[in-house]
Every structure is written in structure tokens, then in C-alpha cells.
Amino acid sequence: MAPRIGLGYDIHRLVKGRKLFLGGVPIPFTKGLLGHSDADVVLHAVCDALLGALGKGDIGEHFPNTDKRYKGISSLTLLQRVYALVKKEGFSVGNVDTMILAQAPNLKAYKPKMRAAIAKVLRLRPARVNIKATTQEGVGFIGRSEAIAAYAMVLLVKR
């Protein structure tokens, strides 16, 4: 069986009174992402990419925001559950590539921690997880620090 590629995307509004989690890592900031779970856009994008590669829909189908079981849940737990589906289908993760779109905060110091957190859940060497971050140069809702978004691509290979 040929390898499979998946693409994921997520976006959440930044609001006061919430903690910011990106890539499974708490990030000190004045705002956090609004959502039913911890709203970690990076992990949500990775989950969607994995589900897409499996042909298993999207994160909202598996963990609906109307289900009280997922209220405030760590997205690391969601990623663990999606990874269990990957293994059940007989695949392993070849690599993960992510792109975070955030005007602020500066994420450079946190990228190695994000890489390690994702790699641990997916049982990968950290070198197989890439974290990129870019600003929007002040343009649009992300550029005005109203939201943070993330894209992820994954490669699945048959075990």
C-alpha cells in the first residue's frame, strides 16, 4: 500500500481569560485561544491531517464541541486518541510538518518543546516533526492578534 498524505488546518480566536496552548505546550501570553477544548490549533491541525490521511473525516466528527466529555480536554489527549486510530489502521507516522500563523507571541523559544511534545505522542524522533511559525505582517485578523491559525501535513506509511 502506498503512503498517505493528510492536510489539516485550524483557527481559533484569541481572548483574555484563557491559557494559551500551542503544540501541547503552555505559552505565557496575555490571551488564550477560545474553544471547547484547550483550543490548541497546532494539535487540532495535526489531528485533522492524520484523520485526513486515514480517510476518517475531521476532528469535529470524532470530538464534537457539543459533547461535554471534551469540554476543556487537553488536545494532547485528542492527539493520542487519533494516533490510536492510525495504529489500528496499520500505519505509522513518517513525518509531521506544521505552520503556525501568529502575530504574537514570538514562538521561537517554544518550537523545540512543541516538537518534542508531538513526537512523544506519535512515537517519533523529534527530527521527524517540524514546527514553523510566521507572522502576518500586521495584515488581517491574525495580523491584528485576534486569532492564531495552524496548518499541518503528515505522511503515513504502512507498518
- 3-state secondary structure string across 1-41: CCCEEEEEEEEEEEECCCCEEECCEEECCCCEECCCCCCCH
CA angle 107, 111, 116 (to 5 degrees): 150
Domain that holds residue 86: 4-158
What is the predicted pLDDT for the residue at 159?
A: 86
> Measured between alpha carbons, how far is 31 from 50 in angstroms, rounded to an integer?
28
Among residues 48, 45, 49, 43, the alpha carbon closest in space to that of 62 is found at 48
> Based on the structure, what is the number of domains in the chain?
1
- Give the CATH number of the domain where residue 49 resides: 3.30.1330.50
The model carries a pTM of: 0.97
CA atoms within 13 A on the CB side of 130: 12
> Measured between alpha carbons, how far is 149 from 99 in angstroms, rounded to an integer?
8
> Measured between alpha carbons, how far is 101 from 9 in angstroms, rounded to an integer?
11
What is the predicted pLDDT for the residue at 76?
A: 98
Torsion 109-10-6-124 (CA) sign? positive
Name the average pLDDT for the chain.
Answer: 97
Distance of CA 159 to the CA centre of its chain: 23
Evaluate if residue 142 carries a pLDDT over 90: yes
What is the predicted pLDDT for the residue at 107?
A: 98
What is the predicted pLDDT for the residue at 7?
A: 98
Q: What is the DSSP string of 116-155?
A: HHHHHHHT--GGGEEEEEE--TT-HHHHTTSEEEEEEEEE
pLDDT in tens, 67-84: 999 999 999 999 999 999
